[in-house]
C-alpha cells in the first residue's frame, strides 16, 4: 500500500482513529494516546516521502480532529477537577499560641502495646508556622530527641468545652512525711 492509498483510506474514516469518548477518564486517556500515536505515524510517513506537512483535505481533517481532542481533554479535566474538589476539605489554619493535640502515630510509646497508648498527645502550644502545611510546637524537655516541626495532618485543634464547670481540677496532693502523694482510685 502506498502513501496515496493510505491517505485516501484515512480520509474516509479518520474519526475511527481519533474518536474521543469522554465517558470516563481512562477512556479519554486511551483515546488521546491513540490519537497521538496516529499523529506521529502521519508525521513519519510524510517525512519519509519528503513532505513536511499534510495538505488539502487531510490537513484540515487532522486539524479539526486535534481541536476536538483538545476540547475533549479540557472537558474531561474540568469534570475530573469538579468531582475531585467536592471531596477536598479546607486545610486547618493555626496561629502562634494556639493549643493542638499531636497524633501519636509516629511517636514511640513506652507502653508495652500500642493498643493501650494514647492516640493524641498534648495539648501543645504552637510556636510558629513553618510552612503552609507544617508547624513548630513547644514540646516538653524530655522529648528533646523528637524534632518539633510536625505536618498539619498530625495536628488536631483543642476544642474548649462550652459547658461551664465541666472540667474538674485534679485533687490536691496529700503530704505524707514532707512528700507529695496522690490518691488513685
pLDDT in tens, 25-76: 566 666 666 766 666 666 666 666 655 555 677 778 888 888 888 888 899 9
pTM over 0.75: no
pLDDT tier at 135, thresholds 50, 70, 90 = very high
CATH class assigned to 90-159: mainly beta
Closest of 145, 128, 129, 138 to residue 102, by C-alpha = 138
Q: Cβ–Cβ contacts within 10 Å for residue 125, how many?
A: 14
Tell me the C-alpha distance between 64 and 62, whole Å.
Answer: 6
C-alpha 30: how far from chain center: 23
For the record, the C-alpha cell of 125 comes out as: 502550644
DSSP per-residue codes, 166-185: -SPPPPPPEEETTEEE----
The CA–CA distances, whole Å, from 51 to 3, 59, 178 equal: 11, 12, 101
pLDDT of residue 136: 96
The C-alpha atoms of residue 140 and residue 121 are separated, in whole angstroms, by 11
Q: For strand 134-138 and strand 149-151, is the pairing parallel, antiparallel, or unpaired?
A: antiparallel
The predicted pLDDT at position 36 comes to: 63
Predicted confidence (pLDDT) at residue 173 exceeds the cutoff of 70:
yes
Q: Is the pLDDT of residue 155 over 50?
A: yes
Quick one: pLDDT at residue 147? 93
Better-predicted residue by pLDDT, 91 or 87: 87
Minimum mean pLDDT range among 17-31, 116-130, 139-153: 17-31
Amino acid at each position: 500500500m502506498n502513501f496515496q492509498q493510505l491517505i485516501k483510506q484515512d480520509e474516509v474514516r479518520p474519526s475511527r482513529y481519533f474518536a474521543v469518548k469522554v465517558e470516563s477518564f481512562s477512556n479519554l486517556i486511551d483515546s488521546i494516546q491513540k490519537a497521538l500515536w496516529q499523529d506521529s505515524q502521519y508525521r513519519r510517513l510524510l517525512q519519509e516521502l519528503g513532505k513536511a506537512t499534510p495538505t488539502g483535505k487531510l490537513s484540515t481533517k487532522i486539524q479539526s480532529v486535534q481541536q476536538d481532542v483538545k476540547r475533549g481533554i479540557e472537558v474531561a479535566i474540568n469534570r475530573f477537577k469538579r468531582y475531585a474538589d467536592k471531596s477536598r476539605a479546607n486545610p486547618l489554619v493555626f496561629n502562634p499560641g494556639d493549643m493542638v493535640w499531636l497524633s501519636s502515630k509516629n511517636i514511640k510509646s513506652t507502653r508495652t502495646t500500642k493498643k493501650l497508648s494514647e492516640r493524641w498527645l498534648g495539648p501543645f502550644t504552637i510556636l510558629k508556622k513553618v510552612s503552609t502545611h507544617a508547624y513548630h510546637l513547644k514540646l516538653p524537655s524530655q522529648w528533646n530527641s523528637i524534632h518539633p516541626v510536625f505536618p498539619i495532618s498530625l495536628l488536631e485543634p483543642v476544642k474548649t468545652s462550652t459547658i461551664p464547670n465541666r472540667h474538674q481540677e485534679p485533687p490536691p496532693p496529700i503530704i505524707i512525711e514532707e512528700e507529695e502523694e496522690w490518691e488513685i482510685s
